[in-house]
């Protein structure tokens, strides 16, 4: 019985989370009304849209006539709470307005990236085939690559390190001194052997273009900027194009999206004025730094007292 009650409660929580940002019953909607809370209608279109968001595992809860009524009851509950929030004038609350502005910003950013990057990024079979033909020796089943890298935060730093390597300085020594990836830095940047798909696409794409012993130009991923060195290849059985096509397409698509995104941002920088006030940036105290400042020094901390024995 407890499990049933808990599962019903969990479903209700999920529904509120999934549908919490929408409003029902547009004023110009011609969709038939299936319920009203005061003057706010809930239409068939509202119902179909919201129930379409229910995860697969919960869909059985709302099957048949009884299930539809149960789902409608959940929508009514949400509308009741919304109407009460309006009466409380929470829609004028600063926290609410800040969240709405943030939601609006992130929604618009997502929409424009879809238009400027996602919809313009496409890799066809001919592009994948050309890449495969140029790198066929690297597409094998069960093969492993061995690489080292140096990870830094800024592109300028990566370029400086790359120049030092080109001028003869030791990759391993620079990795130990400068790489932010402490797990590999102690080993001279060595990441060991790994199979295809284990690294983020940008990293793997750059690695596949190298020959053993070669070092890449700075490569940007979500972790920062990498200088990558391919140190060894353990070749497995040769793979044909059909076996490699999907992997190649994913890698080429990621690279194409990155180039489109970077060029789009550069264009925007030319269209808008961007000013960075470095002195104000430098005075910011990060939240975790505040916590460290507020923590008492070890010698100031109260020494735990031993409990008295009865």
Residue 187 pLDDT greater than 50, yes or no = yes
Rounded to the nearest 10°, the torsion over CA 157, 163, 169, 171 is 60
Both 87 and 112 in one domain: the answer is: no
Q: Cα angle vertex 13, ends 9, 15, to 5°? A: 115
Residue 208 pLDDT greater than 60, yes or no = yes
**Per-residue pLDDT band at 225 (split at 50, 70, 90):** very high
302 in a structural domain: no
Both 69 and 214 in one domain: the answer is: no
CATH label of the domain that carries residue 201: 3.10.50.40
Stretch 66-88: mean pLDDT:
93
- Give the lowest-confidence range in 79-88, 189-198, 301-310: 301-310
Both 116 and 198 in one domain: the answer is: no
Both 107 and 254 in one domain: the answer is: yes
Both 175 and 196 in one domain: the answer is: yes
Both 154 and 99 in one domain: the answer is: no
Name the phi and psi angles at 55, rounded to 5. -65, 155
CA distance 12 to 75: 10
pLDDT of res. 5 = 43
Rounded to the nearest 10°, the torsion over CA 214, 216, 217, 219 is -170
The tally of domains found in the chain comes to 3
CA distance 158 to 154: 6
Both 46 and 161 in one domain: the answer is: no
pLDDT of res. 16 = 55
* Phi-psi group of 192: left, alpha or beta (phi > 0 → left; psi -120 to 50 → alpha; rest → beta): left
Name the phi and psi angles at 226, rounded to 5. -115, 145
Both 213 and 153 in one domain: the answer is: yes
292 in a structural domain: no
- Can you say whether the dihedral through the CA atoms of 7, 9, 15, 21 is positive or negative? negative
Both 128 and 148 in one domain: the answer is: no
Both 77 and 221 in one domain: the answer is: no
pLDDT of res. 21 = 46
Stretch 17-41: mean pLDDT:
72
Stretch 41-57: mean pLDDT:
90
Both 54 and 107 in one domain: the answer is: no
CA distance 211 to 219: 16
The rounded mean pLDDT for the chain is 85
Both 121 and 252 in one domain: the answer is: yes
Three-state DSSP class for residue 234:
strand
**Domain range for residue 229?**
144-234
120 in a structural domain: yes
pLDDT tens-place string over residues 106-138: 999 999 999 999 999 999 999 999 999 988 877
Stretch 155-174: mean pLDDT:
95
């Amino acid at each position: 019985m407890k499990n049933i009650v808990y599962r019903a409660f969990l479903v209700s929580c999920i529904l509120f989370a999934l549908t919490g940002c929408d409003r029902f019953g547009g004023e110009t909607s011609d969709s038939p009304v299936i319920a009203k809370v005061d003057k706010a209608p809930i239409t068939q279109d509202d119902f179909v849209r919201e129930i379409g968001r229910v995860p697969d595992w919960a869909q059985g809860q709302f099957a048949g006539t009884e299930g539809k009524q149960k789902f409608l009851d959940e929508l009514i509950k949400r509308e009741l709470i919304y109407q009460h929030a309006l009466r409380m004038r929470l829609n004028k609350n600063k926290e609410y307005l800040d969240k709405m502005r943030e939601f609006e910003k992130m929604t618009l950013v997502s929409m424009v990236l879809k238009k400027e990057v996602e919809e313009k990024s496409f890799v066809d079979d001919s592009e994948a085939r050309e890449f495969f033909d140029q790198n066929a020796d690297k597409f094998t089943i069960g093969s492993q690559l061995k690489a080292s890298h140096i990870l830094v935060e800024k592109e300028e730093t990566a370029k400086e390190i790359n120049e030092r390597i080109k001028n003869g300085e030791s990759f391993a020594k620079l990795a130990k001194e400068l790489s932010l990836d402490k797990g590999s830095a102690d080993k001279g940047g060595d990441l060991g052997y790994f199979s295809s798909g284990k690294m983020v696409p940008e990293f793997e794409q750059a690695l596949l273009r190298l020959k053993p012993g070669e070092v890449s130009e700075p490569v940007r991923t979500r972790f920062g900027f990498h200088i990558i060195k391919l140190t060894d290849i353990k070749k497995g059985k040769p793979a044909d194009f059909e076996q490699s096509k999907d992997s190649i397409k994913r890698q080429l698509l990621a690279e194409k999206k990155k180039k489109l995104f970077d060029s789009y941002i550069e264009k925007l920088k030319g269209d808008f004025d961007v000013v960075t006030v470095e002195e104000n940036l430098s005075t910011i105290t990060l939240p975790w730094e505040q916590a460290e400042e507020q923590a008492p020094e070890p010698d100031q901390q109260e020494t735990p007292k031993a409990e008295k024995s009865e």
